[in-house]
């Protein structure tokens, strides 16, 4: 009987699990496409719950959006490296809603990243094992 290297066996299993993960991701995308109405309804429900939980924040966000709408954005993401900066949809990130006209132009990916970083810093969100 040939010798089986346990590490190699582990890697083989790992690869198998990862491939299953890819398969599950594909299934999830197919499910989302087939159940668009359900996905939209869940999104609306999540928005409603957030509004109910953070009414002041939602008000401030709306005010900041309105107050800064007429101020032109830069035509590039201020956080991305230059070579990644082309042909992206851009958004305004408000570091502080008390100053609604001060914002940073970001792409959606940087916007999500910077918002999560701020949440982690304010300890509103637990980042994995950081609390241990």
DSSP letter for 130, please: T
Nearer CB in complex with Zn ion: 20/115: 115
Q: How far is the CB of 92 from Zn ion (least distance, A)?
A: 13
Q: CB 78 → Zn ion: shortest distance, Å?
A: 8
- Could you say whether residue 110 binds Zn ion (CB under 5 A)? yes
103 counts as binding Zn ion under rule CB under 5 A? no
Contacts with 34 (C-beta within 8 Å, 6 or more apart), sequence order: none
Q: Report whether 97 contacts 60 (CB < 8 A).
A: yes
Which region among 10-18, 22-30, 50-58, 104-112 touches Zn ion (by CB under 5 A)?
104-112
Instruction: Give me 128's structure tokens.
Output: 């994995």
Q: How far apart are CA 81 and CA 107, in angstroms?
A: 11
DSSP-based three-state secondary structure for 10: helix
Q: How many residues bind Zn ion (CB under 5 A)?
A: 5
Which of 58, 67, 73, 80 contacts Zn ion by CB under 5 A? 80
Among 64, 77, 100, 105, binds Zn ion (CB under 5 A): 77
Nearer to Zn ion, 22 or 75 (CB): 75
Site for Zn ion contains 104 (CB under 5 A): no
Name which of 84, 94, 100 is nearest 118 in CA terms.
94
Q: Identify the three-state secondary structure at position 104.
A: strand
What residues make contact with Zn ion under the rule CB under 5 A? 77, 79-80, 107, 110
């Amino acid at each position: 009987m040939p010798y089986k290297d346990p590490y190699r066996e582990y890697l083989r299993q790992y690869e198998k699990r990862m491939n299953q993960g890819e398969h599950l991701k594909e299934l999830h995308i197919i499910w989302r496409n087939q159940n668009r109405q359900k996905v939209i309804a869940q999104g609306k429900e999540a928005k409603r719950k957030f509004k109910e939980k953070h009414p002041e924040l939602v008000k401030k966000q709306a005010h900041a959006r309105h107050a800064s709408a007429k101020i032109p954005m830069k035509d590039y993401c201020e956080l991305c490296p230059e070579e990644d900066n082309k042909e992206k949809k851009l958004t305004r990130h408000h570091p502080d809603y008390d100053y609604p006209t001060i914002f940073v132009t970001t792409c959606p990916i940087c916007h999500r990243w910077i918002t999560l970083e701020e949440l982690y810093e304010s300890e509103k969100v637990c980042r994995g094992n950081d609390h241990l």
